[in-house]
Structure 1
């Protein structure tokens, strides 16, 4: 075995592959990209998770607000006597984070609730509010139900919660919280493919 020739071959491969611009760029950029993607994903997941929120409840049924306040007095506040236009102003000024108007149709016809809010809290916050509403609306429907068939239907229906962001200019826009969460999941996939691709590139560079 001629070790001199082996060293020459290895040296040539090192120069042509390992020292190539693509290899150096990948070595520097892939780790930085992974850190950036992780950081964005963590930011989306934990977006304002430690901040307290206040949601005003404008209850026109007069039967739901007390249960909501009792469930989480720090989150839900009774604003049933406050006009909706004033609640919008409160959201714009930052006095509250959002408001929900509850009407009889939300209970009897399963019409989705709508929360107008400032866009804070992230997906976890929206999921928490949605779960609270579903639980309490189910309890109210069970209380009103008189026959077993209705009770069965109540258990199979769930109240929806649509959300829109109210800007400081008073305009409502589509809430993209769920969309950004999907982006976070997609970034996770990008991380995996980047690691696999970089590993293959590294392997080709040294073999």
Structure 2
């Protein structure tokens, strides 16, 4: 983890809820030492169960909302939380789309999905933005407020009864912290989390590493 990401995570922890639900460690023993995890993913400190039970709009053509768990579809999944106003999120979209396409081309059950959050942009317009970024093929849903609040709890930000968009201080925090990235196994266990771009101090993109690809294939039982 880079120094910048550590500093952001520490700042987030300082604003954390006093006693969040502690996560039971459901990670397989090999995971922590895997090169696709080590130095890239932080160990979750609370359960992702609440987030899985929140709802989202699954696509620009859908009027029916689904739970996050349904959206993941029982597959190993990376959830990349983004906003159209977030430059680091925008910078990640093309390499994320390339990574997603690589998994699809390999016939993998593992997937990467984008989740628009903390943003008033409608999904059709967000999809146009992805297209302009060369990431039109990236699956993209839109978080409802309950999902936004659950994400704040996972990442250690102070929870607010109203939307984060109506809380200037929290929104300022998010401008320095997004993107949020989550790693789930096929059972919906939260295996890893990350604040900020998935880029090493040397500028190496996680999404273009063989280690990331191998990790997702292994989580899908394909290697």
Task: Give the TM interval when normalised to the shorter protein.
Answer: under 0.3
TM-score normalised according to structure 1 size? 0.25
Higher helix fraction: Structure 1 or Structure 2? Answer: 1
TM-score normalised according to structure 2 size? 0.24
Higher RCO, 1 vs 2 (CA within 8 Å, ≥6 residues apart): 2
